[in-house]
Amino acid sequence: MADKKQGKRSPFHYNQFMIDDFYKMYPEFYRAGRLEFCSCVYYPIADLELELLESSSEEFETIEHAILELIYGGIKTQGQISKMMGLPEKYVKKIIDVLESYGHLLDMQLTDLGEKSVLEGVKYTRYSTRQKVQADPLFGALLTKELVQPKGMLSSSNDTRGSVPLIQPDPYVEQQLLDNLRKDITPYRKGKKKVFHVNVIQIEEVISKKMKYAYGFLLQFEFLDEPIVVLRGKKEERTERVQDAFYWKPMAITKETERFLGLGEHDMVVASDERFSPFVQIKNDIMKQLAFFREKKYDFPIKVESMLQNDWGIDPNQVKYKVSGSEVRLLIEPHMFEKDDMDLQWFKSLSYYDVGGESKPYVRFSANHIYPGLVCYAETKNPAFKKLIANYQKTVTKEEDVPAFIQAYQRELAELVG
């Protein structure tokens, strides 16, 4: 497995951090309703090396420009130029060779670039260079610098985990992207989509192409018809804390999702509904796998029980729960807790209660494919506990807010747990 070879744990182990970072970056998704499904996936990334044609401009050397002007005026031989300028013919030949290397001359005829140069008095040159880029072979877009996946976090198909779904690339979409880039790379030379330097004119050749797979998560929201896949990106601007530099971005959204959630300012790839059919198929396959697991195994094995104990501060034996599809609901009441249980981790668990506000699901059950697709919300029937949770979800936007919240609500907490 790829992550074992690298000697470190993969992002699949940290899906709860992914959810927290995702909602922090895109709070608009709270309007999409509950997150109903979350699963690890491998997402295809085309690793390309391209040969590019670049152009630059600078001031002309006087003699170079003079020779071009003579040729533009109809002088066609090196001998004539030598006599008219009083220069040795060998030196004239050397200058003409240089002008040909610029792309200004071909067989003593001005090229379009040469004519442009002589008329404007600017030395325009063209030259070949190579650049490595990454492309999305499902939605036909180049990845910008923020979303480019580190080489060490990409796997070949042979190195991916068999238990994690692998989304296959679409060869037609990939080829269409390359064809479009050969015609016009302007959209990728400026603005938020910038991939190439402004001097790049066109793609001359695809030198190499390798299909790799990146760690991602497949998400389905209550009010959105199509699932999305998110991959990890890194902000270009400097952040005070390293962890704040990373975020998770949808690879694409539908036009209706963009309109419904008001995501126009986030510069996301927008695609037609049918392009999301591979995600729908994988989600359906995972749901069948989840149903099989629930049928053949007991619902909460030891690993899940330890998560309830460590992350929620509760005795799993006291918790009542119900499972529907890919969603598990825990019924938790304040009498299950002791005051000593109410540490920082306990307060963070208040984010996972569904009390009608901006709640986030608990998704660690699906980490590392213990239970693929499974998400968890907690419920309580206690009105005072509901009020406390609602205030927490409204007040606490980052971990640093928790101590102030505890101080402000100490009396209510004491009354809740007796």
pLDDT tens, residue by residue, 263-298: 998 989 999 999 999 999 999 999 988 887 777 654
Residue range(s) in the chain whose domain bears CATH number 1.10.10: 61-120
Indicate the class that CATH gives domain 61-120: mainly alpha
What's the pLDDT at 311?
Answer: 81
pLDDT band at 401 (very low <50, low <70, confident <90, very high): confident
What was the pLDDT predicted at 315? 79
Cβ(199)–Cβ(125) under 8 Å? no
Residue 9 has pLDDT above 60, yes or no: no
* Average pLDDT of the residues of the chain: 86
Confidence band of 299 (pLDDT split at 50, 70, 90): low
pLDDT confidence band for 201 (50 / 70 / 90): confident
pLDDT surpassing 60 at residue 4 = no
